Amino acid sequence: MTRQRILITGASSGLGAAMAREFARLGRDLALCARRLEPLQALQTELQAAHGVRVVIAPLDVDDHDSVAPTVEQLAQALGGLDRIIVNAGIGGGRRIGTGHWALNKQTAITNYVSALVQCEAAVTYFRAQQHGHLVTVSSLSAKRGLGGHITNYAASKAALAALSEGIRADLMNTPIRVTTLFPGFIRTPLNEGLTHMPFAVDVTTGARALVRAIEREPAHASVPTWPWAPLGFLMQHLPLSWVSRLI
């Protein structure tokens, strides 16, 4: 089944913009939203000129929870419906627990989990009404295990999102609505440009193509890119924590 009309949150840069480019290359119509309108406008012009697809845009701060569902409805009407919604918006900020950075860690938890919950609520409400659709959430390989250092809270927020996605999948198991959870490994984006330790990292274009290939298969979950992250994800869940901390 071709999911022709796709909404992507956090689409102004990084993985969101790169996935939009890849879906446009496949001829899909897009609804794109993000906090910053100017990059969205530039991306809209680029994709429509390069691929002749329909692209509608809207500003959206996913932390403004009351605006999420209305924006989804607005974009759905502008595009003539939605077949797939990708909950991609997130932030990578975080510091070691107990080192005086409560506000930053709190904001990371809100954006990566609570705001993702709000997006899932809007998406599933829309899909229930039309009785079909594909919800995609972008978690992280770091969600596979509790991790130390600056990534502790980020990993926990992405683990919460993965658990939420699985629960939604269980609830919708006997319906025409599909749910996919993505677990990306290290993909170089503006979100992580300050990191120096990124084993097996790939560039954003390569990473986005791998993500889109996985999304198109509509699996329950996928580690991306498959190599080496599928086997490493398995090892992360089963090796002693002292070993895992050396891998990531």
> Where in the sequence numbering do the catalytic residues fall?
154
Question: Which residues lie below 8 Å from residue 16, measured CB to CB, with a gap of 6+?
Answer: 8, 9, 10, 32, 34, 86, 88, 89
Of 156, 142, 157, the closest CA to residue 236 belongs to 142
d(CA 178, CA 166): 11
d(CA 51, CA 28): 9
192 neighbors 93 (Cβ within 8 angstroms): no
Bridge partners for 183 per DSSP? 223
Integer distance in angstroms from the first to the last C-alpha of the chain? 37
H, E, C per residue of 81-128: CCCEEEECCCCCCCCCCCCCCHHHHHHHHHHHHHHHHHHHHHHHHHHH
Report which DSSP code applies to 58: E
